[in-house]
Amino acid sequence: MSDRTRLDQEVIVIGAGVAGIYQIKLLADLGVDATVLDAAGDLGGTWYRNRYPGARFDSESYTYGYSFSKELLNEWHWKERFSSQPENLRYLNYVAGKFDLRKYMQFNCKVEAAHFDETNHLWRLTIDNGRQLTSRFVIMTVGLLSIPTPPRFKGMDKFKGRSFHTFHWPHEPVEMIGKRVAVIGTGATGIQVIAEIADKVGDLTVFQRRPNWCAPLNNGPISEAEMADIRSRYNDIFKTCRRSPGGFEHEPDRRGFYEVSREERLALWDKLYGSPGFAIWLRNFREIFTDEKANAEFSEYVADRIRRRVKDPAVAEKLIPRDHGFGVQRVPMETHYFEAYNRNNVHLVDISETPVEEITETGLRTTERDYQFDIIVYATGFDAITGAFDRIDIQGVGGAKLRDKWSDGPSTYLGMLVHGFPNFLMPSGPQSGSASTNYPRGIETGVNWCTKLVNYMWDHGHTRADPALEAQDRWTEHVKQMYSAMLMRKAKSWFTGYNSNVPGHEHGKIRYFVYNGGAPKYVSQINEVAENGYEGIVFTSGFTSVQRQGEDGKQRRENA
């Protein structure tokens, strides 16, 4: 083999978060020569980055952990029903330590480019320090929400206090006691931060452009005895997750919204409002997602709850969304969020009425007045799902750029492959089952499937896999079709590709990001594709290259 065909690795995995950790575990088990590259200083992805106060799961902790190892399930004790960021990061480190995965990981390695070499069926990667690497396969575990998007306010660099996007929250503790703090943004992140810091800071001003429908998380500790019970039920818990549309323990109410009386509906909603986690969203009547009238009735129920919890009626009204119904955007879960506004030191500014004009040296100016702050927190969200792909110069067959192909929205095969980008795998890609489900449940499905595909190729001597354009078009059309029944299609949400801080992603043109058919349907479709010899994928053979770890610990190239 000439130098041009030399493979540095058989597989390069990009991203050492929840998905990348599991992906490298499977590749290591297969004895394949693989590495994980991550731009951050350590593993953990979302849980390494998002260190803001209040950051925690909205998924039940014990449904978020990996399911692949009984031993791991038996060893780990989740301390809270919805575990917080420090604990989640400890968990991921524990997993990496237990399975000795760190040796496959390289940090502070930001991938800048990945170009497909058509002659040699390999990918050529450029890292930000100029290093070049080649691999047969690239597996993208880059995260759904890993590119933070601060606002584009005038004067942001002038502020003399401290300011950060929640994703870049400092690693060292941020002194907040007695400080004048601004939070801009009231999505899932802003809502967690606001509730957590309200009673700690001197003064908190929340700048809200649009309120979000949210509901109580109903978190609580998990005792030794409860954890022992959970451990004994893990098989059933994961079985339920596999059966449910969202990969949670929550399954929709099977009764028809209109088949039951208003009293029965209210009884269910009272129960759900006091239940933990996404029950209120996912154990509800299915019509909430598809029927304007049903959705409006339930939204009004939640609005009343807000009115009961917020003492000042004018503030309560400002916290009730008017432009969308409950659950058509990602529902943030909260702990005493609404009560925060009953505090004298917490102020709500509606910036849809008085927009921010600029950030000043000492705070910010709206069209109404000047504010002085010590700290400004930007909880303004992410260039979701395709953002991390767009930031890498990915070039496939004929030098085609992925970011150009996806400029009007992604188009994929099964959410895991893209036509013209061979051997480029996305276990949790756009239009896959991961974004719309309990993430680890979704990524285990995607990672298992991608690993099996790669193994199939090795077994059959294939060195190139490219989905057919027709297969990709069919899948994308299928994903689009599923939006048509959903109220969410109209929402200004990252589920529809909306982001006001990224030019071209403002509301108006929907991008079809998520698979709305539910996890069971997704899994059965991708399994059927695999069982039918990976129909829709065109394989080519040409090189032999699988590097596996020999018993002596040295790499050897099989059949080369």
By CB under 6 A, the residues from 259 to 298 that bind ligand NA7 are: none
Nearest in space to 209 (alpha carbons), one of 83, 66, 360, 380 = 380
Nearer to ligand NA7, 491 or 537 (CB): 491
Residue 494 interacting with ligand NA7 (CB under 6 A) = yes
Q: In this structure, which amino acid lies at residue 19?
A: A
Beta bridge partners of 372: 363
Q: How far is the CB of 394 from ligand NA7 (least distance, A)?
A: 24
Residue 381 interacting with ligand NA7 (CB under 6 A) = yes
Residue 213 interacting with ligand NA7 (CB under 6 A) = no
Q: In this structure, which amino acid lies at residue 257?
A: F
Which of 8, 30, 98, 151 touches ligand NA7 (CB under 6 A)?
151
Are 494 and 381 in contact, with CB atoms under 8 Å apart?
Answer: yes
By CB under 6 A, the residues from 323 to 362 that bind ligand NA7 are: 330, 351
* CB atoms near residue 291 (< 10 Å): 18
* CB atoms near residue 340 (< 10 Å): 22
Residue 318 interacting with ligand NA7 (CB under 6 A) = no
Q: What share of the chain is helix, strand, coil (3-state, %, to 5)?
A: 35, 20, 45
Residue 145 interacting with ligand NA7 (CB under 6 A) = yes
Residue 440 interacting with ligand NA7 (CB under 6 A) = no
Stretch in the footprint of ligand NA7 (CB under 6 A) among 34-42, 134-142, 184-192, 426-434: 184-192
Residue 379 interacting with ligand NA7 (CB under 6 A) = yes
Q: Which two tokens mark 422?
A: 């061979």
Instruction: Give the residue ranges of DSSP H helices in 222-261.
Output: 224-232, 234-243
Which of 14, 188, 294, 316 touches ligand NA7 (CB under 6 A)?
188
| Residue 80 DSSP SS3 | strand
Residue 186 interacting with ligand NA7 (CB under 6 A) = yes
Residue 428 interacting with ligand NA7 (CB under 6 A) = no
Which of 65, 190, 410, 440 touches ligand NA7 (CB under 6 A)?
190
Stretch in the footprint of ligand NA7 (CB under 6 A) among 64-72, 277-285, 377-385, 460-468: 377-385
Residue 525 interacting with ligand NA7 (CB under 6 A) = no
Q: β-pairing, 537-541 with 462-467?
A: antiparallel
Which of 88, 120, 141, 189 touches ligand NA7 (CB under 6 A)?
189
Residue 7 interacting with ligand NA7 (CB under 6 A) = no
Which of 380, 428, 432, 437 touches ligand NA7 (CB under 6 A)?
380
Nearest in space to 326 (alpha carbons), one of 291, 293, 278, 281 = 281
Which of 15, 185, 276, 433 touches ligand NA7 (CB under 6 A)?
185
Sequence-ordered list of residues with C-beta below 8 angstroms from that of 83, at least 6 positions apart, any chain: 56, 57, 61, 64, 91
In degrees and rounded to multiples of 5, residue 451 shows phi and psi of -65, -40
Q: Which residue has the CB atom at the shortest distance from ligand NA7?
A: 187
Nearer to ligand NA7, 396 or 427 (CB): 427
Measure the CA–CA gap between 340 and 315, rounded to whole angstroms: 11
Are 404 and 214 in contact, with CB atoms under 8 Å apart?
Answer: no
Positions in the binding site for ligand NA7 (CB under 6 A): 145, 151, 184-190, 209-210, 330, 351, 379-382, 492, 494, 500-501
